Amino acid sequence: MQQRLDSRIDPFAWQTTVMPGMEPRLLAGLPPSGTFRSLASHRAAFPVPPRAGRRTDPWLIDEVELAGLTGRGGADFPTARKWRAVAAGNDPVIVVNGAEGEPAAGKDALLMSRLPHLVIDGALHAAAAVGANRIIICVGEHSPSAVKAIKGALAERRKHEKSGISITMRKVPDRYVAGESSALVAMLNRQEAVPTSSPYRTAERGFKKRPTLVQNAETLAHVAMIMAFGADWYRSIGTEAEPGTRLVSLSGVTEPTVSEVASGASLLDILEAHGADANDVSAVLIGGFYGTWLRPEDALSSHLTIDSLAPFDATPGCGMLHFLPKGSCGIAAVSQLADWFARESAGQCGPCVFGLRAIADALVDVEEGFGGAMLGRIDRWTREIPGRGGCSLPDGAARMVRSGLSVFSADLAAHRRGRCSAEKELVFG
C-alpha cells in the first residue's frame, strides 16, 4: 500500500505489531480491524476509574511520577509535573489531544479507533488527579473511524457506566498546526484552530479561561495502564531514565505499521523485526515531519531514547519512523516536506508566511538543478528562522531541511550536475 504525502491512512488499514520478546501492553486486547473493544471487554481487564470531583487526588499524580511517564505527543515532558501545574488552578478541564496532524503518523488514531475506552479511562484518571469535572476529546476529522469509535464508546458509557462528569467529543480540522495545544484551546473557544500568543500557559488559562490539561491520547492510554497495574509494573520494561513502552508509526521500507516497542529499543532491531533489511534504507526521518533526518549508520546504531538521539539533534518525538528506501531521492523528499510545511503554515507570522515558502521555493530550484546559488540562502534562512515564529512550526521545518541537506549530500551533488535519476515522489509504505 502506497500513501502519498497529502493522503491519509485509515486507522483500520495500519498493521499492528509488538516487538518480539515482549508482551503487548497498550495493544493487548486489540479487537479485529474494523471494530473497537467494547466497554464490557475492556472492564474485564481494567477497573472503573475513580469518580472525579472538585478535589484533587495527589496519590494519582504521585503514581504517575513514580512510573516516570512522559508525554507521547512529541515533547516528552514529565506528565506528573504537567498535572501538578493544572491541579494548582481552579476548576480545571481535561483536553484529550488526538489531532495527529502528520500523514505518516497513526498511533493515536489507531488507539481511539480500536481501544477508545483505554484512552477515556486515562482521561478520567487525569480528571480525578487534578480535580476536573469536564473532559473534551479532540479527534482529527481526517479519521472518521476514530470519530465513530469515540462516539460509540461514549454512548456505551452513558448507558452502562456514569462517570459523574461531562465527556464530549470535538472534531479537529485536518491541519497540522491545529494539534498544537493553544490551537486546540482556541478551537474549543470558538476561534480558528491556529496557535495563539498568550502570556498564560494553557495549564494556567485555557478553555473558557480555566486551567486546561492538554494531553496526548497515547499518554492517557499509558495512564490507564499505570493505574491498573502500578508504577513498578510500568517500569519493568524500558530504561531506568525512560521506562515503559512506546507506540511507533513505521513507514517507508515497511508497510504502514503501528508497533509497540520498549523505550530504549534499538532502531535496527525495530527495523529488522518488521522484515526489512538495513541495506535497503538510505536515511531515516525520526520524530515526525518536524523531526530530523539521520544517516542509516547513525540511526540504526541508536536507540529510541532522548539521550541516545540527542547527539544528532533528534528525539523520539511523536514516534514516527520513516525509513527512506534506497533508490529514493533525498533532495526531492526534503523539498516535498518543505513545501508541505509552507502549505500547513498558520499564516500568522513572517517566518512562516515568507520564510518557509522561500525555503520551499529555493529547494525546488535546487531539485531542478539550477539552484546552487540558493544553498547559501537556504543555510542562512534555516539558521535565522528558529525561535522567531509565532509557534514552533518554523523551528521544526528548519531542522528537517538542515538535517536533510547534510544527510543527502550525494543526492545534492547529483542534482547540481543534473544527473539525479532516483525516485522523486515521497511515499509512505
Work out how many domains the chain is built from and give that number.
2
Domain presence at residue 296:
no
Last residue of a domain, one of 208, 234, 260: 234
Per-residue pLDDT band at 28 (split at 50, 70, 90): very high
pLDDT at 1: 40
User: What's the pLDDT score for residue 314?
Assistant: 94
pLDDT tens, residue by residue, 146-165: 999 999 999 999 999 988 89
Residue type, 200: Y
The residue out of 206, 234, 262 marking a domain boundary is 234
Which CATH number covers residue 366? Answer: 1.20.1440.230
User: pTM for the whole thing?
Assistant: 0.95
What is the extent of the structural domain holding 424?
A: 330-428
Tens-place pLDDT, residues 55-74 = 778 899 999 999 999 999 88
The model's confidence at residue 371, banded by pLDDT at 50, 70 and 90, is low
Instruction: Please state, in angstroms and rounded to a whole number, the distance separating the CA atoms of residues 405 and 226.
Output: 42
- What proportion of the chain, given as a percentage, has pLDDT over 70? 97
Instruction: Answer yes or no: is 380 within a domain.
Output: yes
State the sign of the Cα–Cα–Cα–Cα dihedral 126, 127, 128, 132.
Answer: positive
- Tell me which of 363 and 54 has the higher pLDDT: 363
pLDDT score of 128 more than 90: yes
Is residue 347 predicted with pLDDT exceeding 70?
yes
CA distances from 137 to 76, 169, 362 (A): 20, 5, 40
User: What's the rounded mean pLDDT across residues 294-300?
Assistant: 96
Is it the case that residue 183 has pLDDT exceeding 50? Answer: yes
User: Is residue 354 very low, low, confident or very high in pLDDT (cuts 50, 70, 90)?
Assistant: confident
| 264 domain-assigned | no
Q: What is the pLDDT of residues 76-94, one digit of tens each?
A: 899 999 999 999 999 999 9
Which of 54-58, 177-181, 231-235 tops mean pLDDT?
231-235
C-alpha pair distances (Å), 393 with each of 260, 346, 384, 400, 401: 27, 9, 14, 11, 13
Specify the amino acid at residue 377. Answer: R
Instruction: Look up the CATH number of the domain holding residue 185.
Output: 3.40.50.11540
Tens digits of per-residue pLDDT, 389-415? 778 888 999 999 999 999 999 998 888
pLDDT confidence band for 264 (50 / 70 / 90): very high
Q: CA 347 → CA 350, 353, 355, 394, distances in Å?
A: 8, 5, 11, 11
What is the tens place of the pLDDT at every residue in 211-223? Answer: 999 999 999 999 9
Helix 58-67 and helix 116-130: axis angle, to 10°?
120
What's the rounded mean pLDDT across residues 184-201?
Answer: 87
What mean pLDDT comes out for the span 311-337?
A: 93
User: Regarding predicted confidence, which is higher, 101 or 370?
Assistant: 101
State percent of the chain over pLDDT 90. 70
Instruction: Please name which of 300, 281, 415, 285 lies closest in space to residue 337, comparing C-alpha atoms.
Output: 285
| Spatial separation of the C-alpha atoms in residues 125 and 93, rounded to whole Å | 13
User: Do the domain assignments include residue 270?
Assistant: no
Q: pLDDT at position 388, please?
A: 82
Confidence of residue 416 (pLDDT cuts 50, 70, 90): confident
Are 96 and 218 part of one and the same domain? yes
Q: Is residue 262 one of the residues assigned to a domain? A: no
Domain boundary among 219, 234, 249: 234
Name the band, by pLDDT with cuts 50, 70 and 90, for residue 7: low
Same domain assignment for residues 17 and 152: yes
Mean of the per-residue pLDDT values of the chain: 91
Residues 218 and 338 in one domain: no
Would you state the pLDDT for residue 4? 57
Among 100, 116, 99, 115, CA closest to 150: 116
Identify whether residues 228 and 338 lie together within a single domain: no
Query: Is pLDDT at 105 greater than 70 in this prediction?
Result: yes
- Residue 307: inside a domain: no
